[in-house]
Structure 1
């Protein structure tokens, strides 16, 4: 497997998964189980661990071990499911640190693997499906910019964009011509089941089709007590069902709109409750301070927003900055802390609104011809989640298709 390509696999989509499995959100374990059960549908070229908490490749190996135990029953129905050792061989460790302000840090085994697979001779693009931080993609593009037109990225943004704002900013500014689906809210249609029939509710589906079915089904209870979240699975579902060449058409992974800008707001100093930004956009606060003889990107202050703390960096010439992206429409406040008096104790507020990316502004990132985002039509919102109905309306189809595979393990 790896970066090799056999003639029998030539029509299968080439995919590489970047996952923060093992971090604070166990939904990646659920998504990994789903991926492995459908692994015969793809050429899996990489499984990259990119977690900023406790996750490592060991968490991926644990899922492959479960898959291996269930494989004999699964192969009775899908003989071309991949060998577990082949999957282990293409599992690579990505970065374990968020990118600094410049948007990249240093190469990792994972970012190097993205480059290697992207450069492989193929008539197909490499689908890079990002379930967590986008740091390894940013690093790969920095180290080998020539791969920009060889990959297609489907990123589950939202909260991942909040944590990866610097890496995202680098890609949007330096690689605007990347083929990118930026899914900041649409993915929530996979697990927001308020409009679902009773037998397709997250917990009910687990009880009826997954509970104690095979080794993977027995393990499933460990994640959200079996309730289906799988917020990253829409990236895989996108290339499973529909026309992946055209994000503006329906698919199990959502429907999207072409966008030509990505919202960004730069505050010179503090912001107030009167300042409105766009949810999922990039917000920057720039502060003046002393000119220090320290490297750029040195962390010199922190900013606390909604009980979470974000680093602030030295940009040089007495300018300091931090980036943030709200994962939903919200009103929030912040406070800075620093040993540097000029940066300590700043307070302020902001209000983020829908839809994204909003009206054009002078600070926005200008994007190329192949960047797509959540549909802004309010009729397609689930509560305040933009575009989520473009996935939720397919709930019965994608869940019952999965139920058939669980039945293979129940024989």
Structure 2
């Protein structure tokens, strides 16, 4: 990491690129610089295996000639005039796209808040090495842990510079620090693997490396000597918060405007209807101070606001960029994300809001069921909602977590799962997608 990174020179260069594109014949244009700085160390069994350091400033220019659009990318040091002329020439021979457009000027964020996303703390390679070694050492010290898959620590920053032909100019940077470890327990064919990690915007808020290692060791030891359980229908399945975050990601995918426009979402015809259990809310807020996925403006220069995407179980909004919104006949809600030379909608700080019951009481209330700590495979069909995934975890018996379970499959349909979710109150909002422990009734479990 380095101290605060000055983007003024890149803003100037992007502005010059816009001017040249307009002179070359573009009707509209925008220039983006995606900034990245990273440093990482990986270790295994007390020895450094790899160290990496990287920096990049990747330029993209997008030009519009009528309803025709073209994009080009380049690294620093390119010839501005040549790039602008090439982009316009490409646009003139491109097919028309009636939905391609810049954000309306009235939607642009001409002022935006400081979200305190950048930590200028200098973190040396030696400090990262010490953290990775400490995490692994603490994990290996847990009784029953027999080997290490490795540990790592990282520091970096990423951000965006955006200049448009209709008056927007802005930039921001966000820092990121992380530490992780993966270890093995058991021997031979009975080996089990698990991990733990933490990731924060501010270095001082990162969990102690030894705590991360200890948690990883304790998690894997609990998984030794798993059993299979009999096949059963109508099983209540409890998702650990780590797994619940992925479940909320499925909700986000289903209400993404791009998927709706492509007709690849099973919720595409459900706007204004109940899609989650009554009482449940899904929120998305890009303006949380020090939020993991916060941003002062989106990839088109639009300032997003906190939105209740699903309120009391009823679907209120899609995630929209300008072009996706135009395709659906709706205005953008500031969720556009630059991906290379394209803009697609995505969530920011997304959360399934918690319930009012502790995870212990939630588990106690279901009697018998299955507590999932890891999912395997990608058996989720977002067009139909069909859901079938391999799972490992622990059997719940008489309201208590008992023995480890592996080699089972859980299945249902996301439409049904969404209507049967009960959240606990243990949400951790330090992740870009946040969710508490959740219980889902009525799933099928395929075992022995």
TM-based fold match above 0.5: no
Structure having the higher helix fraction is 1
Q: Rg: which structure is higher?
A: 2
Normalising by the smaller structure, the TM-score range is under 0.3
Q: What is the TM-score when the length of structure 2 is the normalising length?
A: 0.24
TM-score normalised over the length of structure 1:
0.25
